[in-house]
Structure 1
Amino acid sequence: MRTVYPLVRYRDAGKAVDWLVRAFGFEVHELVNAPDGGVRHGELVVGTGMIMTGTGEPGGPGIYVVVDDPDAHHARAVAAGAEITAELSDKDSRPYFVL
């Protein structure tokens, strides 16, 4: 099971997904469109790796982390000065947080 996923935002994530598939051989694992036509959430795989993406303003790198004790990891990250961009929640019965 993967435990760390880079998050990449693009102004036009649909075009970026198409390009990543053509240029680097990524395969679309999941693609959820937003009502405005953008990409709400995308998961692309290549080899054993996966990135997640969506439409939005490009910014610094984001990291999606799957852990057994998210409360402890969250507290540690906050204490170290991390900017938490999405609060703790459970997805697919796996606790996670996003830095």
Structure 2
Amino acid sequence: MVNQAPPPQVWPSLRADDARALIRFLVEAFGFEETVVYGEGDRVDHAQLAWPPGGGVMLGSAREPGPEDPWPLVPGTFGGYVVTGDPDALFARAVAAGAEVVQGPHDTEYGSRDFQVRDPEGNRWYFGTYRGEPRRS
């Protein structure tokens, strides 16, 4: 019997000025997979992108500030760490797709290989091999 990880229960979420362009960038530059996109024209009401090894992010178009916005996140303020098995190859892919380099590939004192880039909206993406510490029983 194969143990499968449970479906993700935590979904980092972000807003974008041009959500459809950001979705294309995240797919091309980092390898996220578009799962679903709801909305009409340039507007994205809800999108879900899967990270192939597990997990993912949700995003949508920024709205006019005010009480009508139930999720008033400012575009470009997201930051997330994503585990990857091959950070050097992913860094090359991200740079080729136009990601802004914040910190190139480097080895950390805790044994991870990491890099950091910004997407076209200004969000910070930190990729590396560190999978976190095991949960305590």
TM-score, reference length from structure 1 = 0.55
Residues in 1 aligned to 2:31 and 2:77: alpha-carbon distance in whole angstroms: 24
Residue-by-residue CA offset, 1:28-49 (whole Å, 9 max, x unaligned)? 0110014x53111000011202
CA drift of 1:60 comes to 5.0
Gaps of 5+ in 1: 62-99
Matches for 1:11-26 after TM superposition, within 5 Å: 11-26=17-32
Report the residue type matching 1:22 in the other structure: E
Residue-by-residue CA offset, 1:39-75 (whole Å, 9 max, x unaligned)? 11000011202100000041655xxxxxxxxxxxxxx
TM-score, reference length from structure 2 = 0.40
Matches for 1:34-53 after TM superposition, within 5 Å: 34=40, 37-46=42-51, 47-53=53-59
Residue 30 of structure 1 pairs with residue 36 of structure 2: yes
- The correspondence for 1:58, drawn from 57, 67, 75, is 75
User: Highest relative contact order (Cα 8 Å, sep 6+), 1 or 2?
Assistant: 1
Secondary structure of 1:5's partner? coil
| Count of matched residue positions in the alignment of Structure 1 and Structure 2 | 60
Give the number of the structure whose residues are more often helix, by fraction.
1
Q: Which portions of structure 1, spanning 4 or more consecutive aligned residues, are displaced by more than 2 angstroms?
A: none
Report the residue type matching 1:54 in the other structure: G
Identity between Structure 1 and Structure 2 (%): 33
Residues in 2 aligned to 1:11 and 1:24: alpha-carbon distance in whole angstroms: 19
Secondary structure of 1:15's partner? helix
Gaps of 5+ in 2: 1-6, 63-73, 79-137
Residues in 2 aligned to 1:59 and 1:14: alpha-carbon distance in whole angstroms: 15
Structure 1 or 2, whichever has the larger Rg, is 2
